[in-house]
Structure 1
Amino acid sequence: MTEEMNQIDVQVPEVGDVVKGIVTKVEDKHVDVEIINVKQSGIIPISELSSLHVEKASDVVNVDDELDLKVTKVEDDALILSKRAVDADRAWEDLEKKFETKEVFEAEVKGGLVVDIGVRGFIPASLVEAHFVEDFTDYKGKTLSLIVVELDRDKNRVILSHRAVVEKEQTAKKHDFLQTLEVGSVLEGKVQRLTDFGAFVDIGGIDGLVHISQLSHSHVEKPSDVVEEGQDVKVKVLSVDRDNERISLSIKETLPGPWSQIGEKVKQGDVLEGKVQRLVSFGAFVEILPGVEGLVHISQISNKHIGTPHEVLEEGQTVKVKVLDVNESEERISLSMRELEEAPKADQEDFRQYQAKEEPSTGFQLGDLIGDKLNKLK
């Protein structure tokens, strides 16, 4: 029976009829109403005011409210009425349409993540937000955008989701953002999470990857040495893959280069401490400032003759070096370790070289020869 047919002028309302009533009195546990067009009063028990638990009837209705009510029982002195039954009938029809069309609607959250939408609707914790929520206390009284994700009238089951609405909005926002994003743009972002290979940064509803090689001008062992989750950073867009929704970012590109104004930081003749980063056949590259390496040519490693740098150096070793030359335009610095060593005295070196030679076959020693000459002088 349709609502229009139910709301006819009836002299003797029957169970199941829908009538209109005016609230005349609100008690704690029930509501008194006067039935329109019928000289009869009615009572709405507090349990029939809403699909949700109600502490006080005044939380739902007020005096002079006009309500559509279903007759649940006919007694001699009054009709027993239900607002909840009428609301539920209308709600199920509306919810079935919303479920089919995935329509987004708003509802106020009551206690325990439930909403009154004519029937009791429930929002599971996993469907509240796109991110993890630990405490739902603040959601009470909050109005959320929702869609129906599960509907079963026989079991009086209505499952709602706010997360689905959020994710749909995020997808649309991400798509629009990707279309306008340009390589070379410098943006503000927030570090979302760290991995072994880099950091994911939120640049406005979408995450981009800052590879570990793009975190700093200097060598980075692990991302947590440079950035932390929740940190605000400035990033430069390196590439955009719209089909796969992948964005490559760089923090390094937004920072002053390590060679910027290097001539003011390092000067010829400076004695510095550095770390050997690489050994090659022609010398050793030593990092003297973060991201700044200079070359110690093999001829400048030691006063002694060496065949390869590996004979006296190893990667990771800390050494002292002297700056021989700084070429800022070509980003080259020449260094020397030899100049910080004490040079051997010439006569000592000659003597060592002489000793290295074979002695005459006569078996005479240098001391014997000098001793003979001294004896003749006597």
Structure 2
Amino acid sequence: MYHFVAVTSCQVKGTVFKTDANGALVDISAKSSAYLSVEQACIHRIKHVEEAGIVPGMVEEFVIIGENESDDSLLLSLRMIQYELAWERCRQLQAEDVIVKAKVIGANKGGLVALVEGLRGFVPFSQISSKAAAEELLDKEIPLKFVEVDEEQTKLVLSNRKAVADSQAQLGIGSVVLGVVQSLKPYGAFIDIGGINGLLHVSQISHDRVSDIATVLQPGDTLKVMILSHDRDRGRVSLSTKKLEPTPGDMIRNPKLVFEKAEEMAQTFRQRIAQAEAMARADMLRFQPESGLTLSSEGILGPLGSDLPDDGVDLTVDDVPPAVDL
């Protein structure tokens, strides 16, 4: 147990020359020796300083936080520096409005406690999108967005609901995303796509019939999938690898090829969707002459009879821009 008096903190450079069970001795080129306790060695809880990479010969910047009354040695801290950097990083992430993944380390009657940049953040139950019980989320990583970052009040409030909503908003039909197989069911596989669970139905795995999903996919597998549909109200996302197959059955015979060609195949899918939409608009306008507008062969609305052929709009796949750019 160290009894120390506080001193005005200042930053110094030091070299670790010895470690023991309780911390490390540091040479800071001062008359008195300096000591870094294991509690002050890292923002994370550790049992030995070497867990934080503190070994003899290491040169680092330390903060002097006090003086040991028993032998006048100086007491150092790395934790204080890391703590300040962690708050600065959280403020930056909040300003950038990014989504972070954080591990749930605890829960109380109001919500969950998650570890973000080494700091304990609070996620109110009202800001959790999952219906899972708190104990089911312990030790799991969940997507979060920053709601409040207040170092003076040591308040770090986060939202899982906002993170999931933002992720879902980016799920355009025909877009390709990276996913991890979470579980297999007789009717399909549930895929985690950035904190959102999507269903890859057995009929959407391959053009060839898949009688046993386990012969194609296993929990933990990483794969590319295409967003087939997205019901935001119900929070349901339908996925497909079938639409990404260069030739029918590739997902069964050569999934690596499917993933290599995924973006190319998705581009073709989006072009077909755009073409179908353009044709539908053209048909609608052709049968509604009272609107006074028609769709030209360039896909531009104009006065009736501008340059629309008698037999309708003649568009090829190459003429139609993709609905979504990757």
Q: Which has the larger radius of gyration?
A: 1
Structure-1-length-normalised TM-score: 0.37
Structure-2-length-normalised TM-score: 0.42
Between the two structures, name the one with larger relative contact order (CA 8 Å, sep ≥ 6): 2
